[in-house]
A and B are shown apart, each in its own frame.
Chain A
Amino acid sequence: MINLIDELKVIPGIVGACIVSTEGLQATNLPAMFKPERLSLVGNHLLALSASGRNSFSDLTDMTLNYDESVVVARELIEGTILFAICDPTFNYNLLTMSFNLLQEEFKGGNFSASTVAAPVVTEPVAAPPTPPSEAKISAPLQDLLDDLKRLLSKILGPMAGFVFDDVVEEWQAQGAAGFSRIEDLISGINREIDDQEKIDHYRSLIAPLLKSFQKG
Chain B
Amino acid sequence: MATAKDFVSRVDQIDGVAGCLLIKENGASLGQTLDDVDTYTSLLLNSVELSNEVMEKTGFSYCRHISFQRSNDENFYIFPIRNYLLGVLLDADCSEPVMLEQVAQLINRVSVGGP
Contacts and interface: CB of A to CB of B under 8 A. Distances in A.
A80 to B, nearest CB: 16
A159 interface: yes
A182 to B, nearest CB: 26
B76 interface: yes
Given A42-B54, A56-B40, A57-B76, A63 B66 contact: yes
B65 A66 contact: yes
B67 interface: yes
A41 B71 CA distance: 27
Interface residues of B, number: 28
Interface stretch (B8-16, B17-25, B43-51): B43-51
Given A52-B46, A65-B66, A66-B66, A59 B59 contact: no
B70 to A, nearest CB: 5
B55 to A, nearest CB: 6
A67 B70 CA distance: 21
Contact of B68 (A57, A70, A162): A57
B63 A67 contact: yes
Contact of A49 (B40, B51, B55): B51
Nearest to A63: B68
Interface string A26-65: 0000000010001001100110110011011101111111
A68 B61 contact: yes
B39 A67 contact: no
Interface residues of A, number: 34
A48 B69 contact: no
A122 interface: no
Nearest to A35: B57
B58 A38 contact: yes
Contacts of B59: 158-163
B82 interface: no
A53 B58 contact: no
Contact of A159 (B42, B61, B66, B72): B61
Given A42-B54, A63-B69, A64-B66, 9 more contacts: A46-B54, A48-B50, A53-B47, A56-B40, A63-B67, A67-B64, A70-B60, A159-B60, A162-B59
Interface of A: 34, 38, 41-42, 45-46, 48-49, 52-53, 55-57, 59-70, 72, 86, 97, 158-163
Q: 6 shortest A-B CB distances, which residue pairs?
A: A67-B60, A160-B59, A62-B69, A52-B46, A59-B71, A159-B59
Interface of B: 39-40, 42-43, 46-47, 50-51, 53-55, 57-72, 76
22 contacts: A38-B58, A41-B53, A45-B54, A45-B57, A46-B54, A48-B46, A52-B47, A56-B76, A57-B76, A60-B70, A62-B68, A63-B66, A63-B67, A64-B66, A66-B65, A67-B64, A68-B61, A68-B64, A69-B61, A159-B59, A159-B61, A162-B59
